[in-house]
Amino acid sequence: MQEAAKRFGTPLYVYDAAELDAALGRVHSAFGDARVYYAMKANPNLHLLRRLLAAGVGFECVSSGEMARAEHVGATGEHIIVNGPAKSAEEYRAGARLGATFVVDREEEVDLLPPGSRALVRVNPALAVSTHDHLATGAAQSKFGVSLAQVPGVLGALRAAGHTALGLHVHIGSAIRDADDFTAAFGRLRELREVTGPLQVLDAGGGWGLDADLSGIAREAHATAAHFGAQLWVEPGRYLVARAGTLLTQVVGTKHTGRDFVLVDAGMTELLRPMLYGAEHPVQALWEASAQGVWDVAGPACESGDLLARAVPLPTPTPGALLAIGEAGAYGAAMSSPYLTRSRPAEVLWTGQEWQLLRRRETPQDVWAAELTAAETPSAGC
């Protein structure tokens, strides 16, 4: 870590190839022959995508940009699922050109799909889920999926319109701690068997908490697929990449205002999850000191909510020391922003032998590259 910080600077996203491979191995051993579509929103770095595609993994995409990434690394239609509650005309066109499978999120979409599409119907199982409100998608009033009662009608409408209705899709949210939530959701789906008849595919989504009982979830998912005579598909995002990634940040100084702050060179622009969802990421001091304290880890942004962690025990910090924020491989770089014209950090991979630079640090010029120069901007004139 010290060497990576020295070579590539901070803040820095550091990925560990062995942990990536281990996470995929855990998914394969729990889910067996299920087809895995990585939800690339978690971390769309092209190098990681190539690595996963080479291991036989496909991609769940929610934008034409994500489809472009999938295509760029060589994925073809059978490896691509196109999802999203508000797909654009461009996204339907791109999905059709690639021969991807679409996930239908509302009844009206049947008429919007390109002719002869292959489609899954996303079911909203109308359940409360053990995660932050912003991350729960299976509640009846969320914007996702069609109701259980609508399912037969939507499957029928797909067939009547000449599409291939492959089966059902369910994704109840992200960072779900309690495996019982999946059991409940899959149970609701199984009740539909009487009205749907057998299906080709059951897509059980992702959302598995990092400490969730994966084999329990897999058992329920397989039982549900078998109930429909269907092949099981899954869409993990966070589970595959979170633990493989660390955000490395450097101590700038300390401040005492009645609270004890350690000020670091990364913040909400590099890891938004603590601010947005109250997410708690493990924090590890890479320095030693005899005295310990309880510290809030604050970033450089001019916002009071710019905290990476609250009330964490740390040895007394010294400027220049390194702090490692764990579980940052998912939705870290992916949700980073150039707010404050901050250059997004570099991303590096430890292969076990060497450091590979996967993405160079942005420059300020990268951040404003799409803005037109004075010469290019048509004057308002009058």
Should residue 281 be labelled a site residue for ligand LLP when binding is judged by CB under 6 A? no
Q: How many residues make contact with ligand LLP (CB under 6 A)? A: 22
13 is in an annotated binding site: no
Integer CA distances (angstroms), 235 to 27, 37, 124, 169, 208, in order:
11, 5, 16, 10, 10
Nearer to ligand LLP, 41 or 344 (CB): 41
Q: Binding to ligand LLP by residue 175, rule CB under 6 A?
A: yes
Residue 85 assigned ligand-binding role: no
Please give the residues from 285 up to 314 whose contact with ligand LLP meets the rule CB under 6 A: none
The answer to whether residue 325 forms part of the interface with ligand LLP (CB under 6 A) is no
Structure tokens that stand for 27 in this block:
């998914």
Burial (0-12, 13-18, 19+ Cβ within 10 Å), 315: middle
Can residue 207 be called a binding residue for ligand LLP (CB under 6 A)?
yes
Select from 44, 167, 237, 329 the one that contacts ligand LLP (CB under 6 A): 237
Kindly state the smallest distance separating residue 175's Cβ from ligand LLP, in Å: 5
Q: What is the maximum alpha-carbon separation in the chain?
A: 72
Question: 302 an active-site residue?
Answer: yes
Q: Does 269 bind ligand LLP (CB under 6 A)?
A: no
- In the complex with ligand LLP, the residue whose CB is nearer, 196 or 336, is 336
Q: Of 246 and 250, which CB lies nearer to ligand LLP in the complex structure?
A: 246
* Rounded Cα distance, 358 and 149, in Å: 46
Q: Does 42 bind ligand LLP (CB under 6 A)?
A: yes
Give me 315's structure tokens. Answer: 């040895």
| Beta carbon nearer to ligand LLP, 87 or 171 | 171
Catalytic residue among 89, 141, 288, 302: 302
60 binds ligand LLP (CB under 6 A): yes
- Counting Cβ atoms within 10 Å, is residue 184 exposed (0-12), middle (13-18) or buried (19+)? middle
Q: Kindly indicate which of the ranges 232-240, 261-269, 282-290, 352-360 contains the residues binding ligand LLP, using the contact rule CB under 6 A.
A: 232-240
Contact 106, 154 (CB under 8 A): no
Residue among 13, 31, 295, 331 that touches ligand LLP (CB under 6 A): 331
What dihedral do alpha carbons 283, 284, 288, 293 form, nearest 10°?
20
- 371 labelled binding-site residue: no
Q: Which is nearer to ligand LLP, 204 or 323 (CB)?
A: 204
11 annotated to bind ligand:
no
Peptide bond into 319 cis (omega under 30): no
Residue 277 structure tokens: 């969802």
Q: Please name the amino acid found at residue 47.
A: H
The secondary structure of residue 288, as a DSSP letter, is -
On whether the CB atoms of residues 208 and 236 are closer than 8 A, the answer is: yes
β-partners of residue 58 are 37
Candidates 28-36, 45-53, 111-119, 230-238: pick the segment binding ligand LLP (CB under 6 A). Answer: 230-238
CA atoms within 13 Å, Cβ hemisphere of 232: 23
306/85 Cα distance (integer angstroms): 30
205 near ligand LLP, judged by CB under 6 A: yes
Instruction: Quote the tokens at residue 245.
Output: 């990634």
Looking at beta carbons only, is 4 or 273 nearer to ligand LLP? 273
Contact set with ligand LLP (CB under 6 A) = 39, 41-42, 60, 83, 135, 171, 174-175, 205-208, 235-239, 273, 277, 331, 335
Catalytic residues: 302
Binding residues for substrate: 238, 273, 277, 303, 331
Binding residues: 207, 235-238, 273, 277, 303, 331
